[in-house]
Amino acid sequence: MRVIVALGGNAVLRRGQRPDADTQLANVRSAVRTLARLAARHELVITHGNGPQVGMLALQSAGDPSLNRPYPFDTLGAQTQGMIGYWMQQALQNALPGRQVLAMITQTLVTAVDPAFEKPTKFVGQSYDREEAEKLAGEYGWTVARDGSHWRRVVPSPAPRRVIETRLIRQMIREGVIVICAGGGGIPVVRDERGRLAGIEAVVDKDLTAAMLAEVLECDAFLSLTDVPRVMRDFGTPAQTEIAHTTPHELRAIDFPAGSMGPKVEAACRFVETTGDMAAIGKLDDAEHILDGSAGTIITPNGRWPLTSTL
């Protein structure tokens, strides 16, 4: 089976942890133990979040007096793709001797007139209390929003149109390579009037990019792996319940937060609706059980897994 995995940012840096390299590298090595078991049985493509890392570097850059202006988000995306990709590539090589692993710096095409540029929703960086968030927003010109019980910076998140390096990724898969790509949703780029690529200030949602990539790579399953065991109905209320097996139609009838679970659900629904295959949302540690249907929220056209014909 060909599987694409979209790792949440918590796989590299969990809320409340110090963002030092040793902590993040330890988290990556822990995640790779699960990924290596998947790679031993399936063709595997890995994408990952970078919101905490991009936000941290953006804050450092904004406060650096030696810079004429802060580094733009496309450049910060490239930096974090390289850093996290390197950690994952090396950890997988050590876990799977003899397997070829490649971390690719990839660009994701967006359109400069996407309405997302008028309404930032994508969380980046660390969490703050409201007072500190509003102070930083005033100091650096940020937009901030509530994320659960905390506050974080939000930036534009335009819709992904295509991963520029798709053909190269497909070629690597055919040759048996484990590919790490589209980190942080990919570096956001646009085409000018002459067809040339240029970076743009934004962060593309990693789950939407991964779902798009899963479709064009003809993956059999799309896994969005985070720190929650299942999608919840009526989350945060006394009536909340876990959703085990469902359909895109059922999920679309539920209102999910735009900055967190919403994009994961939307990405999973798009993949299932377009391909007729399986998507799932769940915990990284449960990945193997998700594929056998005993964990996570499984989304299929008819709500069954393994898939059975509706004819």
Q: Which residues contact 271 (CB under 8 A, 6 or more apart)?
A: 211, 214, 215, 222, 277, 279
- Please indicate whether residue 302 is annotated as part of the active site: no
Residue tagged active-site, from 122, 183, 184, 186: 122
Place of tokens 């798709």: 166
Taking Cα atoms as reference points, which of 282, 309, 161 lies closest to residue 222? Answer: 282
Residue tagged active-site, from 50, 186, 206, 296: 206
Residue tagged active-site, from 85, 183, 264, 296: 264
Which residues face 206 on adjacent strands?
none
Residue tagged active-site, from 9, 55, 125, 282: 9
Q: Which residues contact 181 (CB under 8 A, 6 or more apart)?
A: 45, 46, 47, 103, 104, 106, 163, 165, 169, 213
Residue tagged active-site, from 8, 10, 49, 185: 10
Tell me if 296 sits within 8 A of 221, measured CB to CB.
no
- Please indicate whether residue 283 is annotated as part of the active site: no
Omega before 306 cis (within 30°)? Answer: yes
Which residues face 188 on adjacent strands?
108
Place of tokens 């996570």: 296
Which residues face 151 on adjacent strands?
128, 146
Looking at the annotation, which residues are catalytic? 9-10, 122, 206, 264
